[in-house]
Chains A and B, each alone.
Chain A
């Protein structure tokens, strides 16, 4: 009966007059709505329901791949995926308007203590990132100290790094980007650039970083591993260590972060099963190959772990 009721509302919504607007506001306050799973029998019986997942765009393509496979296996399930950035994902899952909020930073860094209540952190994979430069830059290795100097505005010429003289053009990510937070936590060690420091651009995605670095002579920036294989750019080794999956897993390469999918402890029964199954699917061994294919690192192979404060310990 509830099913009939909901679809009738939806029908009115799709074809109805504007007079229905006010009423719809009330009806759909629980939107994105989930179809009732009738409670029992989620073990062997087919999963039914629809959930929403919003947030970080950095690993959205991976989640979309997972969604496609997951929906193929469970035809009565639908997962609506939207972007919006880590901030949106976290606030929406905190206020309960989506079931899963994607973030590439720990929720502790963005939310207030009272918003954190009831949130469950599901770390689904790991992203490694490293510095990239324009392909014409004749420097191949950089130390963490030098990297820090560049992004603090202290080192401004490639000659200081043993390359051909030329201005170092720093391309930054937007303030608030998860990639930037991870990079700065691992490289700057809590120091902040002086006010006078001006990057040559602040861009809002890794794809743009690649494009800009390839097009700008003498430029340097940082991206996740899966963006490093591109024309016109070159990945640097850091302290002589290659930015590879193996080096992140062993703990030698230190610039990496978890990709989180936050859920709620007190999620509505009608969707909890679907949410749980979807997260389990993301972590499953079957899906690990896709994770690697997309340039991420599965959780299972890590020999170290990080906490919200950035402390690294053996796993």
Chain B
């Protein structure tokens, strides 16, 4: 008995220390959500901005006290969807190639290559976008894109950035498909492409969708690389892909240094942060829903 006591105490200490770590992390997250919500909602409850004017207002002109977030909301969604559209076929295509066609090449050569892309910091992508992609767009479109900055260049930079995310996750998804499925399909006389298209892709679909959503999460929240190439015009709605625009993240980066804490402008910026926070929670929710549905489908 006397011998058991220290053991139990040791166990409790262990539980205490590790439990404290988890609690600390959870506490920080709760604090973050609370603070962003508190500051972001001040705009509506204390400063008295009408939420409808905020979410659907088409003009963000702080010096006139007009805070319509629609230009940035549209900008964020435009670059996210467009970059996903650019990256998706390439990512899935490469994943199919390295899993179904050339597995050993995939593991030894392609994977390290793709991991190189993951490792490049986002400011470096921003620099590349600013000096290379913007100049290219300017050269191609001439007067239609006087500075080259705009939604298109933002989407191109983001597409390169989310390519490795979607590719590696898709590779994992395809590898997770049991080999019996393939063998069964081949035994029926199907070609590799038929097997891939009708069997492998179909059974990996939920995981592939998760991969795409995670890529979109990254695109939606990416900050500096986009801010450096998109042109930063928040004043009114972008009218085309070559139009300089802004995203929620870019508007925050540019605005936070000019806003005085406690002012309506400052709170309006936090409301933009709140939208970002809400969107990332929604993305998580979608991933969970896909996971649950996939689990149900597989019995």
Residues of A within 8 A of B (CB): 83-88, 90-91, 95, 110-112, 115, 167, 169, 171, 174-177, 181, 184, 192, 195-204, 212, 215-219
Q: Number of contacts between A and B (CB, 8 Å)?
A: 101
Query: Given the complex of chains A and B, what is the CA–CA distance between A88 and B138 in angstroms?
Result: 35
Residues of B within 8 A of A (CB): 58-64, 138, 143, 146-147, 149, 231-236, 239, 243-244, 246, 254-255, 257-263, 265-266
Query: Given the complex of chains A and B, what is the CA–CA distance between A83 and B256 in angstroms?
Result: 12
Contact B58 A110, beta carbon cutoff 8 Å: no
A-B CB contact pairs (8 Å), 16 listed: A85-B257, A87-B260, A91-B261, A110-B260, A112-B262, A169-B147, A171-B147, A176-B63, A184-B63, A196-B236, A198-B243, A198-B244, A199-B235, A200-B244, A204-B254, A216-B147
- A204 in contact with B232 given A175-B258, A176-B255, A177-B258 (CB within 8 Å): yes
Q: How far is the CB of A12 from chain B (nearest CB, A)?
A: 19
Q: Nearest residue in B to A111 (C-beta to C-beta)? A: B260
Contact B258 A174, beta carbon cutoff 8 Å: yes
Point out the residues of chain A lying under 8 angstroms from B265, CB to CB: 176
Point out the residues of chain A lying under 8 angstroms from B263, CB to CB: 87, 110, 112
Q: How far is the CB of B112 from chain A (nearest CB, A)?
A: 34
Contact A84 B232, beta carbon cutoff 8 Å: no
Contact B262 A174, beta carbon cutoff 8 Å: no
Other-chain contact of A176, B58, B236, B259 (Cβ < 8 Å): B259
Q: How far is the CB of B106 from chain A (nearest CB, A)?
A: 41
Point out the residues of chain A lying under 8 angstroms from B232, CB to CB: 174, 201-204
Contact A200 B257, beta carbon cutoff 8 Å: no
Q: Which 5 A-B pairs have the closest CB atoms?
A: A176-B258, A85-B257, A87-B260, A91-B261, A202-B232
Other-chain contact of B231, A84, A95, A201, A219 (Cβ < 8 Å): A201
Q: How far is the CB of B89 from chain A (nearest CB, A)?
A: 31
Q: How far is the CB of A190 from chain B (nearest CB, A)?
A: 11
Query: Which of A175, A184, A196, A212 has its CB near the most chain B CB atoms (within 10 A)?
Result: A175
